[in-house]
């Protein structure tokens, strides 16, 4: 499995950071005000590192898995190759990729994975988001669209039954794909509540970090 796109154990996500076209709803940013600069391109590795959730930023109970790699930046050539291969589109304007995986300390079967793809313009980021959504929907017949709040220009969530025999009763696997300005983000959660409280929490965290980096501020401050 390639380093850029690591699909969840419970959600079959064809390829890596998939494609979102077919009727995905665009939603306006609900916060950030004039300081949010959607056209800012995250073209430097340290910007991508800052946009990915750091271990210190995680909610209580989550941690970097023992032996797991810390947040990692994927260079332009590899990110572009993976994006084109996985989504079957040109992925024009791609700058960098980034990925990190965390686990719940009390339930190490429950992983959450973050993937970022950064672009030079919003016009180039949009088709990749759309391709990602399409891929998520096309490649898992059990995936069902869900509606969650996300302060992003475009977003779409999905859920499907959790397949782990050890998963608590009533949990589901869930995914959120979104576009925040020039950044396309994918969040994959192995076990989520029916009301998607955990996915919603991490979605808000990721959007806030991306926007702060686009504003030129430190998301860990």
Structure tokens at 183: 């950044």
Residue 8 covered by a domain: no
User: What is the dihedral angle through the alpha carbons of 24, 184, 213, 104, rounded to the nearest 10 degrees?
Assistant: 100
Q: What is the CATH number of the domain that holds 175?
A: 3.40.1000.70
Query: At a CB cut-off of 8 Å and minimum separation 6, what does 208 contact?
Result: 151, 219
Q: How confident is the model at residue 1 (pLDDT cuts 50, 70, 90)?
A: very low
Domain that holds residue 57: 19-215
Q: How many angstroms from the chain centroid is the CA of residue 25? A: 17
The mean pLDDT value for 5-27 works out to 36
Q: Is the pTM of this model over 0.95?
A: no
Residue 1 covered by a domain: no
Q: Is 221 exposed, middle or buried (0-12, 13-18, 19+ CB in 10 A)?
A: exposed
- Per the structure, how many domains does the chain have? 1
Q: How many angstroms from the chain centroid is the CA of residue 153? A: 14
Q: How confident is the model at residue 44 (pLDDT cuts 50, 70, 90)?
A: very high
Residue 102 covered by a domain: yes
The mean pLDDT value for 38-59 works out to 95
pLDDT digits (tens, 9 = 90+) for 177-195: 999 999 999 999 998 888 8
């Amino acid at each position: 499995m390639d380093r850029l796109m690591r699909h969840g154990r419970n959600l079959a996500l064809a390829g890596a950071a998939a494609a979102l076209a077919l009727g995905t709803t665009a939603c306006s940013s609900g916060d950030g005000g004039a300081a949010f600069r959607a056209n800012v391109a995250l073209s430097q590795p340290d910007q991508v590192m800052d946009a990915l959730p750091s271990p210190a930023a995680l909610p209580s109970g989550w941690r970097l898995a023992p032996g797991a790699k810390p947040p990692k930046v994927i260079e332009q050539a590899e990110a572009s190759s993976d994006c084109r291969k996985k989504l079957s589109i040109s992925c024009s304007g791609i700058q960098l990729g980034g990925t990190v995986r965390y686990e719940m300390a009390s339930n190490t079967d429950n992983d959450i994975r973050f993937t970022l793809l950064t672009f030079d313009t919003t016009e180039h980021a949009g088709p990749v988001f759309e391709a990602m959504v399409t891929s998520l929907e096309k490649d898992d017949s059990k995936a069902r669209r869900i509606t969650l709040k996300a302060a992003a220009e475009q977003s779409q969530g999905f859920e499907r039954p959790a397949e782990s025999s050890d998963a608590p009763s009533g949990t589901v696997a869930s995914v959120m794909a979104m576009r925040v300005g020039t950044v396309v983000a994918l969040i994959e959660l192995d076990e989520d509540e029916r009301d998607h409280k955990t996915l919603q929490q991490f979605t808000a965290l990721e959007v806030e970090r991306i926007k702060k980096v686009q504003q030129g501020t430190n998301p860990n401050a």
